[in-house]
Amino acid sequence: MKEQDTYITSAKIKENGRTAYYKMLERARHGELIQVRRGVYANAEQLSLGMIDIEAIVPRGILCLWSAWSIHHLTTSMPQAYHIAVKRGRKIAVPSFPQVEIHYYSESLLDIGVIEASIDGFKARLYDIERCVCDAVKFRNKIGIDVCSEIINNYLDRPDRNLSRLMDYARLLRVGGILEKYLQVKL
**Tally of domains in the chain:** 2
Q: 68 and 35: one domain? A: no
pLDDT tens for 51-63 read 778 888 899 999 9
pTM for this predicted structure: 0.78
Q: What is the rounded CA–CA span in Å between residue 138 and residue 170?
A: 9
Domain residues for the domain of 165 are: 54-186
Rounded to the nearest angstrom, the gap between the alpha carbon of residue 90 and the centroid of all alpha carbons in its chain is 17
61, 18: one domain: no
Is 1 among the domain residues? Answer: no
Query: Which residue has better confidence, 41 or 2?
Result: 41
* Under 8 Å between Cβ of 117 and 127: no
Identify whether 164 is part of a domain.
yes
Strand partners, 83: 101
Give yes or no for residue 2 having a pLDDT over 50. Answer: no
Task: Identify the band that residue 49 occupies on the pLDDT scale cut at 50, 70 and 90.
Answer: low
- Regarding whether 59 and 19 lie in a shared domain, the answer is no
**pLDDT digits over 67-79, tens only?**
999 999 999 988 8
95 in any annotated domain:
yes
Amino acid identity at 75: T
The reply to whether 169 and 126 lie within a common domain is: yes
Strand-strand pairing, 100-105 and 82-87: parallel
Q: Are residues 106 and 41 located together in one domain of the fold?
A: no
Helices within the chain (DSSP H only): 10-14, 18-29, 44-48, 54-57, 65-71, 107-110, 129-138, 140-143, 145-156, 163-172, 176-186
Least confident of 6-15, 143-152, 164-173: 6-15
Shared domain for 119 and 144, answered yes or no, is yes
